[in-house]
Amino acid sequence: MIRNVLGSVVALVGAAAAVQSPFHSWYDARLGRDYRIQDLFGGITGVASSVMGSILLPFLFAAVVTIVGVVLRARWVVALAGLVVLGFTVLWMVRQGQAAGSLTAGGGSGLRWGVAQALAGGVLLLLGALVMSGRRGVRRSRAPEPYPVPPDDRPDTWPPTQEPGPSAQTSPAPEPEADPYTGPGRHRASAADEDTAEYPVQDGNTYPGQDGPQEPGRYHPPHP
């Protein structure tokens, strides 16, 4: 921002100096506004020119271009105005040197203050374009939208409880295996098992209803 303001001020001062320069003496006692535009291309003559048909016209154009460049903050536009001022001034110097045979500065004859002012105005225009920072586009990065989180109605408990699911369900107890034997001695073996479960076999012991010790490891039913 500061560079743009400073460069704009320098450029406007240069444009004002270029526009004012034709109203000063350029060579000997002749003013810059007395030189015609066509003299710059066909050769310097002694014919006087109108104000709007003189060398003032390209300087006015350069001043308008400078204002447009300052408003738009376009550096290349301001630099173009500076090149116009310097270009027409140098072209006049070339034509004047051809007409006079040589160019001299200082003293009572030769190049005068108006030429120096025009050259200074063109240099200030280029300097203003160099100082300006120009117009920079501002890129606004869009903040990423947050990832939507579904609402959670469950209370925040610790430690977390496991939701009921297939892994949390208890498996049913295994069913007892069916006895594959269905022969005639199935009920007798079952009765013997019940007697054995009621009176376990012990080594060297007698069972109720028995008279003496029995053989270990063998079932002996009681006597009636």
Which residue do the tokens 């003013």 mark?
Answer: 31
Structure token digits, residue 220: 């002996």
User: Would residue 72 count as lying in a domain?
Assistant: yes
Residue 216: alpha-carbon gap to chain centroid: 96
User: Would residue 103 count as lying in a domain?
Assistant: yes
Structure token digits, residue 126: 């280029």
Full pLDDT tens readout for the chain, 224 residues: 888 899 999 999 999 999 999 999 888 888 989 899 888 888 888 888 788 888 999 999 999 999 999 999 899 999 999 999 999 999 999 998 888 887 777 656 778 889 999 999 999 999 999 999 877 654 555 656 665 666 655 555 665 555 555 554 555 556 666 555 555 555 554 444 544 444 454 444 554 555 555 555 555 555 54
User: Would residue 139 count as lying in a domain?
Assistant: no
- The tally of domains found in the chain comes to 1
Residues 6+ apart with CB under 8 A from 108: 28
Tell me how far apart the alpha carbons of residues 42 and 36 are, in angstroms, rounded to a whole number: 10
User: Would residue 222 count as lying in a domain?
Assistant: no
| Cβ(93)–Cβ(35) below 8 Å | no
pLDDT single digits (tens) 25-51 = 888 888 989 899 888 888 888 888 788
User: Would residue 116 count as lying in a domain?
Assistant: yes
User: Would residue 189 count as lying in a domain?
Assistant: no
- CA end-to-end span of the chain, whole Å? 125
User: Would residue 125 count as lying in a domain?
Assistant: yes
User: Would residue 208 count as lying in a domain?
Assistant: no
Supply the range of the domain harboring residue 105.
35-131
Structure confidence at residue 138 (pLDDT): 43
